[in-house]
Amino acid sequence: MRVLERLADGASCAVRIIGGLAAWSGLALVLLVAFNVLARYFLSYSSVGLQELEWHLMAVAALFGMSYGLNQGGEVRVDIFYARYGARTKAVIDLIGNGALTLVAVYVVWLSIAYVQSSYAIAEGSPDPGGLPLRYVLKAAIPAGFALLALQGLAMTLRAGCEAVDPARHRT
């Protein structure tokens, strides 16, 4: 049981570190948008590549932020019934729900790999003149983000499994 808890802690720690790094993309996005607006209005300068970079940063923040949000307890839980259940029942519900989340995330990773490979095979870039090249790098964030979500789901599944077996070990 201790080994499973340590694995869950390690996975959650990795998600926190990567999520913290991904959070900096929010600052980069704000600075980039500010630069694009100021450059357009005061210097009459505009770049398609920089405008595309805005949504690239937003995509990275969303894809890596979903696992970090789950890690930090930022998910929305409708607990009309859940709040009334005992510790073991809650743990079993969490075990099933987190296990399903992990399986869905792994399935999205599996599905998206071919999508990234086909983009890489043709060296896909932006169709817009002056746009960013290497679009497959952005597309690679899809399986990476969902792999991180699967890792967080696995950590939560392991914790729920430990709690289902021994509710007295409940951790907050």
Interatomic CA distance for residues 61 and 98, integer angstroms:
22
The encoded tokens of residue 37 equal 């607006």
Most confident of the following: 7-11, 79-83, 117-121: 117-121
For residue 98, which of 10, 148, 144, 159 has the smallest C-alpha distance? 159
Domain that holds residue 20: 2-169
| Mean pLDDT, rounded, for 11-15 | 83
- Containing H/E element for 10? helix 2-42
How sure is the predictor about 106, in pLDDT bands with cuts at 50, 70 and 90?
very high
| Mean pLDDT, rounded, for 38-48 | 91
pLDDT of residue 109: 97
Per the structure, the count of domains in the chain is: 1
Interatomic CA distance for residues 83 and 90, integer angstroms:
8
| pTM over cut 0.85 | no
For residue 119, which of 133, 102, 105, 139 has the smallest C-alpha distance? 139
pLDDT of residue 18: 85
Please give the span between the terminal C-alpha atoms of the chain, in angstroms, as a whole number: 17
- Containing H/E element for 26? helix 2-42
pLDDT of residue 170: 55
pLDDT of residue 172: 47
How sure is the predictor about 144, in pLDDT bands with cuts at 50, 70 and 90?
very high
